[in-house]
Amino acid sequence: MSDTSWRNPHGDDHDIVVRAERLMWEHVDEPLSLGVVAAAVHCSERTLFARFRNRHGTGPLRYFRIQRLQAAHRAIVGDDGRTIGEIAFALGFNHLGRFCRDYVDLFGVTPSGTRRALGQRASPSAAARRRWSR
Protein backbone atom coordinates (compact mmCIF):
# COMPACT_ATOMS: atom_id res chain seq x y z
CA MET A 1 0.00 0.00 0.00
CA SER A 2 1.32 3.46 -0.84
CA ASP A 3 1.49 6.41 1.52
CA THR A 4 -1.13 9.02 0.54
CA SER A 5 -0.79 11.30 3.57
CA TRP A 6 0.90 13.97 1.43
CA ARG A 7 -2.12 14.39 -0.82
CA ASN A 8 -4.61 17.22 -0.70
CA PRO A 9 -7.46 16.00 1.55
CA HIS A 10 -9.93 17.22 -1.07
CA GLY A 11 -8.06 15.42 -3.86
CA ASP A 12 -8.59 16.33 -7.47
CA ASP A 13 -12.17 17.42 -6.73
CA HIS A 14 -10.93 20.53 -4.97
CA ASP A 15 -8.39 21.35 -7.69
CA ILE A 16 -10.93 20.97 -10.50
CA VAL A 17 -13.46 23.20 -8.75
CA VAL A 18 -10.90 25.87 -7.85
CA ARG A 19 -9.52 25.97 -11.40
CA ALA A 20 -13.04 26.16 -12.85
CA GLU A 21 -14.03 28.98 -10.48
CA ARG A 22 -10.87 30.91 -11.37
CA LEU A 23 -11.52 30.48 -15.08
CA MET A 24 -15.13 31.64 -14.75
CA TRP A 25 -14.10 34.80 -12.86
CA GLU A 26 -11.35 35.55 -15.40
CA HIS A 27 -14.00 35.41 -18.15
CA VAL A 28 -16.91 36.85 -16.17
CA ASP A 29 -18.06 39.07 -19.03
CA GLU A 30 -18.05 36.25 -21.59
CA PRO A 31 -20.64 33.51 -22.03
CA LEU A 32 -19.07 30.21 -20.96
CA SER A 33 -20.62 26.82 -21.57
CA LEU A 34 -20.15 23.80 -19.36
CA GLY A 35 -18.17 22.14 -22.15
CA VAL A 36 -15.73 25.04 -22.46
CA VAL A 37 -15.11 25.15 -18.71
CA ALA A 38 -14.71 21.36 -18.47
CA ALA A 39 -12.23 21.30 -21.36
CA ALA A 40 -10.22 24.13 -19.81
CA VAL A 41 -9.83 22.24 -16.53
CA HIS A 42 -9.21 18.92 -18.31
CA CYS A 43 -12.21 16.90 -17.22
CA SER A 44 -15.52 15.79 -18.64
CA GLU A 45 -18.69 17.85 -18.27
CA ARG A 46 -20.14 15.11 -16.11
CA THR A 47 -17.11 15.12 -13.80
CA LEU A 48 -17.15 18.91 -13.50
CA PHE A 49 -20.87 18.91 -12.69
CA ALA A 50 -20.42 16.14 -10.08
CA ARG A 51 -17.48 17.92 -8.41
CA PHE A 52 -19.43 21.18 -8.14
CA ARG A 53 -22.49 19.38 -6.85
CA ASN A 54 -20.37 17.63 -4.20
CA ARG A 55 -18.72 20.88 -3.10
CA HIS A 56 -21.46 23.51 -3.57
CA GLY A 57 -24.71 21.55 -3.85
CA THR A 58 -25.38 22.77 -7.40
CA GLY A 59 -23.89 22.69 -10.87
CA PRO A 60 -21.09 25.01 -11.99
CA LEU A 61 -23.08 27.38 -14.20
CA ARG A 62 -25.83 27.90 -11.62
CA TYR A 63 -23.24 28.31 -8.88
CA PHE A 64 -21.40 30.92 -10.90
CA ARG A 65 -24.61 32.79 -11.81
CA ILE A 66 -25.37 33.04 -8.08
CA GLN A 67 -21.83 34.30 -7.41
CA ARG A 68 -22.22 36.96 -10.12
CA LEU A 69 -25.61 38.00 -8.71
CA GLN A 70 -24.06 38.36 -5.26
CA ALA A 71 -21.24 40.46 -6.77
CA ALA A 72 -23.88 42.63 -8.47
CA HIS A 73 -25.70 43.03 -5.16
CA ARG A 74 -22.47 44.14 -3.43
CA ALA A 75 -21.82 46.66 -6.22
CA ILE A 76 -25.37 48.02 -6.06
CA VAL A 77 -25.18 48.36 -2.27
CA GLY A 78 -21.71 49.92 -2.56
CA ASP A 79 -23.04 52.56 -4.98
CA ASP A 80 -19.84 53.19 -6.91
CA GLY A 81 -21.61 55.53 -9.33
CA ARG A 82 -22.38 52.94 -12.00
CA THR A 83 -25.91 52.33 -13.19
CA ILE A 84 -27.52 49.00 -12.48
CA GLY A 85 -27.22 48.16 -16.19
CA GLU A 86 -23.50 48.93 -16.18
CA ILE A 87 -23.01 46.68 -13.16
CA ALA A 88 -25.01 43.88 -14.78
CA PHE A 89 -23.14 44.10 -18.09
CA ALA A 90 -19.74 44.21 -16.34
CA LEU A 91 -20.64 40.94 -14.61
CA GLY A 92 -21.67 39.21 -17.82
CA PHE A 93 -25.43 39.68 -17.69
CA ASN A 94 -26.31 40.66 -21.24
CA HIS A 95 -30.07 40.72 -20.82
CA LEU A 96 -31.32 43.13 -18.18
CA GLY A 97 -34.74 41.50 -17.93
CA ARG A 98 -33.23 38.14 -17.08
CA PHE A 99 -30.75 39.78 -14.71
CA CYS A 100 -33.62 41.49 -12.86
CA ARG A 101 -35.66 38.28 -12.70
CA ASP A 102 -32.70 36.26 -11.38
CA TYR A 103 -31.86 39.05 -8.90
CA VAL A 104 -35.44 39.07 -7.57
CA ASP A 105 -35.42 35.27 -7.32
CA LEU A 106 -32.27 35.39 -5.17
CA PHE A 107 -32.81 38.55 -3.10
CA GLY A 108 -36.59 39.03 -3.14
CA VAL A 109 -36.36 42.62 -4.39
CA THR A 110 -35.43 44.30 -7.68
CA PRO A 111 -31.97 45.85 -8.08
CA SER A 112 -33.51 49.33 -8.10
CA GLY A 113 -35.54 48.34 -5.02
CA THR A 114 -32.24 47.53 -3.31
CA ARG A 115 -30.98 51.02 -4.09
CA ARG A 116 -34.22 52.65 -2.96
CA ALA A 117 -34.13 50.73 0.32
CA LEU A 118 -30.69 52.19 0.97
CA GLY A 119 -31.81 55.69 0.11
CA GLN A 120 -29.86 55.72 -3.16
CA ARG A 121 -31.38 57.08 -6.32
CA ALA A 122 -31.97 54.58 -9.11
CA SER A 123 -30.49 55.97 -12.29
CA PRO A 124 -32.92 57.12 -15.00
CA SER A 125 -31.09 55.10 -17.64
CA ALA A 126 -31.52 51.91 -15.64
CA ALA A 127 -35.21 52.66 -15.15
CA ALA A 128 -35.65 53.26 -18.86
CA ARG A 129 -33.85 50.03 -19.72
CA ARG A 130 -35.99 48.11 -17.23
CA ARG A 131 -39.19 49.33 -18.91
CA TRP A 132 -38.00 47.99 -22.27
CA SER A 133 -36.84 44.63 -20.89
CA ARG A 134 -40.31 43.55 -19.72
Domain range summary for the chain, segments of one domain joined by +: 1-57, 61-134
**What tens-digit pLDDT sequence spans the chain (134 residues)?**
344 433 344 446 679 999 999 999 898 878 789 999 999 999 999 999 999 999 999 999 999 999 999 999 999 999 888 999 999 999 999 999 999 999 999 999 999 999 999 885 544 444 444 444 44
**DSSP, residue by residue, 66-130:** HHHHHHHHHHHHHT-S--HHHHHHHTT---HHHHHHHHHHHHSS-HHHHHHHTTPPPPHHHHHHH
CATH assignment, 1-57: 1.10.10
pTM of the shown model: 0.71
> What topology does CATH give the domain 61-134?
Arc Repressor Mutant, subunit A (1.10.10)
